[in-house]
Structure 1
Amino acid sequence: MTRTEVLIAGAGPTGLVLALFLTRQGVNVRIVDKTAGPGTSSRAVAVQARTLELYRQIGLAEHVVEAGHINPGISLWVKGQRRAHVSFGDAGAGLTPYPFVLMYPQDRHERLLIAQLEDMGVQVERDTELLDFSPHEGHVELRLRGPGGKEETCEALYLAGCDGAHSLVRHRLGASFEGGTYDQLFYVADVRVRGRQADGQIHISLDDADFLALFSYSDDGSARLIGTIRDERAAHPEALGFDDVRGRAIQGLGLQIDEVNWFSTYKVHHRLTAHFRHGRVFLLGDAAHIHSPAGGQGMNTGIGDAINLAWKLKAVLRGEADDKLLDSYDSERLAFAHKLVETTDRVFTFVSAEGNFANFVRTRIAPLFVSAAYSVDAVKEFMFRLVSQCMLNYHGSPLSGAGAGKLKGGDRLPWAAGASADNYAPTGKLDWQVHVYGEADEVLSSWCHRHGLQLRVFDWERAHEHAGFARGAAYLVRPDGYLATADGAGKPDALRDYLEGIGYRRFTSD
């Protein structure tokens, strides 16, 4: 019987990133998908700054940025007139190496991830469907159907369900998926456009009882168009084609549509499962949570799930940590998913609400509010942090310990912008680090060296103080770039006690 450490069901971005990060850490994986090949339409297009920060640690971010299209800002339009403009660069400068929203169509994104996996000797097993599984005390038994209908029984130590909104893994677990479906009918189209707004930025039209958005993802006019269909035509979506919505696109944003590569209609759902971990089985991405496309959060959240889980699985599989470490995947990512569903639900409800008052607020008040708000630096920074997922923290996590300076356990490691040494520079491996901004204590240096724990010392600069670091403090940084705990005096005892407390044995034996 074939055995593997982790079997991943589903080869979308979530499953591919999980396979990539596990393989980079030496974990044996199989990744299966029932489709014959990767997707051929753009689907999710936004790659947020936090995703790029995490990609940078494995040398992937620059490939994605080079292949994608940087959207430097967003404009709001009402009745053909621009009423507000927001610059991402102004809002994100100093917060991240990637102060923009990157447009990178999902089909291209998947192909890049697949190529990275193949370079490491991992092939996606296509035309291979997970039919059933049975969890046992020390493994999961799985039944697969491969090409030609041939069935196979195999074992894995863990199963990761990355198989989308209609997840077989979730169904077989009997897990809940509470939520609902919005009434409005949306359409999505991949188009090639010309016109005054085909300028590489994001444009949103908020006309009465209508919503329309254009997301450019190349310099040749290729773009994603999203809009609502509110009249009687919405009752028969199967009969609709792009010609039925073309006029609205031309009127709202002054576009000339030269080519339509893909068109589809859909309803927006918002659903969330109650638990992301079920013993040796995990749910990730759309299998665990789906929400409105507001803010381009969905794919990025699934990727975040994968990276959060990957380093924890590796630690448990290699005997470095107790199995209870895996419980933190459930608590950390479930809490974030709850916040995300609530936030995107509020935004979606606002842009899609009907009625005269809703139209007045959306078309008259909202553009004025956005213009005024973005003249305040603190508001600009808050909004960028929110959309880019740089605001994500794990303050309530059982893995979040003490802080130092202005930083707390569970914070994203701040990027020390303007510093002579980049504290986000990749180290070549996904592992724990200790950061000291100032001078490192000799006892700390000796402890880190003895346990093979990388110590990174940065000469103290004003940028570090601005980012919230305390001079000379020791910050223990998780493999996924979040602060675990800190000791203001720069001593190792608190770090060792923290690691012992979470059942992480690798750095605690003397």
Structure 2
Amino acid sequence: MRSDVLIVGAGPTGLVLALWLTRLGVKVHIVDKAAESGTTSRALAVQARTLELYQQLDLSEAVIQGGLHVPGVNLWVKGEKATRLPLEAIGTDLTPFPFMHVFPQDEHERLLVERLAQLGVDVQRQTELLGFSDDAGRVLARLRTSDGSEQQWEASYIAGCDGARSLVREITGTGFPGGTYRQVFYAADVEAEGPSMDGELHIDLDDADFLAVFPMAGSGRARLIGTVRDERDDDAESITFDDISDRAITHLKVKIHKVHWFSTYRVHHRVTEHFRKGRAFLLGDAAHIHSPVGGQGMNTGIGDAINLAWKLASVLNGCAPDSLLDSYETERIGFARKLVSTTDRVFSFVTAEGRIADLVRTRIAPMLIPTVARSDAAREFLFRTVSQITLNYRGSPLSQGASGHVHGGDRLPWAVAGYEDNFASLSLMDWQVHVYGTVQPELADFCKTLGLTLNVFDWQREYQAAGLTQNVVYLLRPDTYVAMVDQTGIWEMLDRYFASRKLKPLGRLRP
């Protein structure tokens, strides 16, 4: 009845955390109240940065094959398409995955569960966390199992991936400040036809109701996500698809043939005050929740899991002090707060009421958006933001140095020179060094002694175009973010980086 980490909640966040830790030799126990993986889902979008990070788990190809990539976003006004934003044309030089990818959360969860089972770890279903204590250098949790009996479980750390109503968060007392949108949201999986059923994302800017049509894998399938008019807010449970279907048909010309699933729900905008308290951590919806605008929620939770996983593995394997775990909150809470603020502003714009709001949304915005869409810089900024490839940890105590546009804490720029893809080495779940150009022999010797993988790339103009600098040393963390940028190229800088933080590569533990 003991594991290194007890994970509460088997959604995508908890499952990715379990996968990462298991791959690094950490013993995990993952529990969930549900009897099975989700059979319906609201989360759809898998962003480019998530697909990049999934390469470490050998998941990217399976997610791509199981879903549908979205090459463009279309904005509609008064029943007509106002403008189109071509995603593929923007991101081709930025990422191996220059698109928004649709892969429903229920299918996503099943894939993660299967991969975890292949590693010998099964989710303990119909198991509820009743409480836990954090003392004497351990976590002692009480679990209620499927037969109603109670079970004591001991772990070094507990990870709360248990959603917006997180019991782990409640017990840690870290609060959940924020608010609740007054609008009622709905989601519906449908079979339909019409100009909006062309495999792209379509968003309606009319009125004060939000409406988006997401393409789904399979001919004529789509997910409708929208808000319901205020006069029915107080009676959300009585809303049926008939209450909203006319609007979808009228505004986005979607002719519905069959409804497979329909649900209404409320959305909050909240961020907990602390992501870590002692030996307890909060991830995903347990730590932050916001409107579905931009398709960021599930991706942010997965990002939390990957950020925390390598740090837990490092501490548990004796490769880092416990203080390394403090950087999880430092790095993730700022992004969560910014994300909640950004999605709140966007959602407030698309749902604002009144004559002026309608004028801005239906007259001014359609004139401005095409102009913005023609600007390469504006399109690239939008793609980088939504895809999460701009997310960085520059303010982290783990980040050091800069050269050109690349700073410690940044995502490593992607570049392909000839047949050489600099992201190929990032499948390694450990610290590593990249040098684009020539490397000093003493540095190479030091990397070998420390157990650091050294990747040397012959200097090419493609690397310069991507923002990389010749002969500079880029130290990469196990989650592939740049830890240190050093222009001197001397081995002593690497030595000081690891020694000052009391860190060791994980590879030194493996034979």
Which TM-score applies when normalising by structure 2? 0.97
Q: How far 1:230 sits from its partner (Å)?
A: 1.6
Give the conservation status (yes or no) of the 8 Å contact 1:443–1:491. yes
Match of 1:456 in 2: 455
> Bigger CA drift: 357-366 or 424-433?
424-433
Match of 2:113 in 1: 114
**Equivalent-residue separation in structure 2 for 1:301 and 1:284 (angstroms):** 9
Counterparts of 1:143-182 in structure 2 under 5 Å?
Answer: 143-182=142-181
**Equivalent-residue separation in structure 1 for 2:162 and 2:354 (angstroms):** 38
Counterparts of 1:427-442 in structure 2 under 5 Å?
Answer: 429-442=428-441
Match of 1:320 in 2: 319
Q: How far 1:232 sits from its partner (Å)?
A: 2.0
**Equivalent-residue separation in structure 1 for 2:432 and 2:368 (angstroms):** 42
> Does 2:185 correspond to 1:183?
no
Match of 1:243 in 2: 242
**Equivalent-residue separation in structure 2 for 1:93 and 1:358 (angstroms):** 35
The residue matched to 1:57 in structure 2 has which SS?
Answer: helix
Match of 2:193 in 1: 194
**Equivalent-residue separation in structure 1 for 2:28 and 2:50 (angstroms):** 22
> Does 2:503 correspond to 1:504?
yes
Give the conservation status (yes or no) of the 8 Å contact 1:59–1:426. no
Match of 2:219 in 1: 220
Match of 2:482 in 1: 483
Match of 1:11 in 2: 10
Q: How far 1:505 sits from its partner (Å)?
A: 3.9
Counterparts of 1:23-422 in structure 2 under 5 Å?
Answer: 23-422=22-421
C-alpha spacing 1:291/1:453, structure 2 compared with 1 (3 Å): same
The residue matched to 2:402 in structure 1 has which SS?
Answer: coil
User: Which amino acid letter does the alignment assign opposite residue 335 of structure 2?
Assistant: F
User: Which amino acid letter does the alignment assign opposite residue 456 of structure 1?
Assistant: N
Give the conservation status (yes or no) of the 8 Å contact 2:182–2:233. no
Give the conservation status (yes or no) of the 8 Å contact 2:44–2:103. yes
Match of 1:469 in 2: 468
**Equivalent-residue separation in structure 1 for 2:64 and 2:327 (angstroms):** 31
The residue matched to 2:34 in structure 1 has which SS?
Answer: coil
User: Which amino acid letter does the alignment assign opposite residue 55 of structure 1?
Assistant: Y
**Equivalent-residue separation in structure 1 for 2:95 and 2:361 (angstroms):** 31
Give the conservation status (yes or no) of the 8 Å contact 2:41–2:105. yes
C-alpha spacing 1:427/1:79, structure 2 compared with 1 (3 Å): closer
C-alpha spacing 1:417/1:428, structure 2 compared with 1 (3 Å): closer
The residue matched to 1:156 in structure 2 has which SS?
Answer: strand
User: Which amino acid letter does the alignment assign opposite residue 35 of structure 1?
Assistant: A
The residue matched to 2:90 in structure 1 has which SS?
Answer: helix
Give the conservation status (yes or no) of the 8 Å contact 1:56–1:426. no
Give the conservation status (yes or no) of the 8 Å contact 1:496–1:507. no
Which TM-score applies when normalising by structure 1? 0.97
Q: Deviations over 1:225-258 (max 9, x none)?
A: 0122224233321211001111001101111111
Q: How far 1:420 sits from its partner (Å)?
A: 3.2
Q: Deviations over 1:393-437 (max 9, x none)?
A: 001111111122331111111101455311111455300110000
User: Which amino acid letter does the alignment assign opposite residue 317 of structure 1?
Assistant: L
User: Which amino acid letter does the alignment assign opposite residue 9 of structure 1?
Assistant: V
C-alpha spacing 1:51/1:18, structure 2 compared with 1 (3 Å): same
> Bigger CA drift: 368-377 or 410-419?
410-419
Match of 1:492 in 2: 491
User: Which amino acid letter does the alignment assign opposite residue 265 of structure 1?
Assistant: T
The residue matched to 1:124 in structure 2 has which SS?
Answer: coil
The residue matched to 2:130 in structure 1 has which SS?
Answer: strand
Q: How far 1:491 sits from its partner (Å)?
A: 1.5
The residue matched to 2:29 in structure 1 has which SS?
Answer: strand
**Equivalent-residue separation in structure 2 for 1:506 and 1:229 (angstroms):** 52
C-alpha spacing 1:96/1:506, structure 2 compared with 1 (3 Å): closer
Unaligned runs of 5+ in 1: none
**Equivalent-residue separation in structure 2 for 1:263 and 1:294 (angstroms):** 19
**Equivalent-residue separation in structure 2 for 1:246 and 1:507 (angstroms):** 54
The residue matched to 2:57 in structure 1 has which SS?
Answer: coil
Give the conservation status (yes or no) of the 8 Å contact 2:430–2:507. no
Give the conservation status (yes or no) of the 8 Å contact 2:314–2:506. no
**Equivalent-residue separation in structure 2 for 1:272 and 1:266 (angstroms):** 19
| CA root-mean-square deviation | 1.4
Give the conservation status (yes or no) of the 8 Å contact 1:161–1:169. yes
Q: How far 1:208 sits from its partner (Å)?
A: 2.2
C-alpha spacing 1:36/1:508, structure 2 compared with 1 (3 Å): closer
C-alpha spacing 1:309/1:206, structure 2 compared with 1 (3 Å): same
The residue matched to 1:400 in structure 2 has which SS?
Answer: coil
C-alpha spacing 1:421/1:102, structure 2 compared with 1 (3 Å): same
Q: Deviations over 1:189-240 (max 9, x none)?
A: 1111111211110001111233211001213122110122224233321211
Give the conservation status (yes or no) of the 8 Å contact 1:58–1:429. no
**Equivalent-residue separation in structure 2 for 1:249 and 1:317 (angstroms):** 52
Match of 1:424 in 2: 423
Q: How far 1:12 sits from its partner (Å)?
A: 0.3
**Equivalent-residue separation in structure 1 for 2:131 and 2:26 (angstroms):** 23
**Equivalent-residue separation in structure 2 for 1:39 and 1:506 (angstroms):** 37
Q: How far 1:459 sits from its partner (Å)?
A: 1.0
Give the conservation status (yes or no) of the 8 Å contact 1:49–1:100. yes
Give the conservation status (yes or no) of the 8 Å contact 1:486–1:495. no
The residue matched to 2:40 in structure 1 has which SS?
Answer: coil
Give the conservation status (yes or no) of the 8 Å contact 1:406–1:470. no
Give the conservation status (yes or no) of the 8 Å contact 1:94–1:417. no
**Equivalent-residue separation in structure 2 for 1:500 and 1:404 (angstroms):** 22
Q: How far 1:507 sits from its partner (Å)?
A: 8.9
C-alpha spacing 1:493/1:508, structure 2 compared with 1 (3 Å): farther
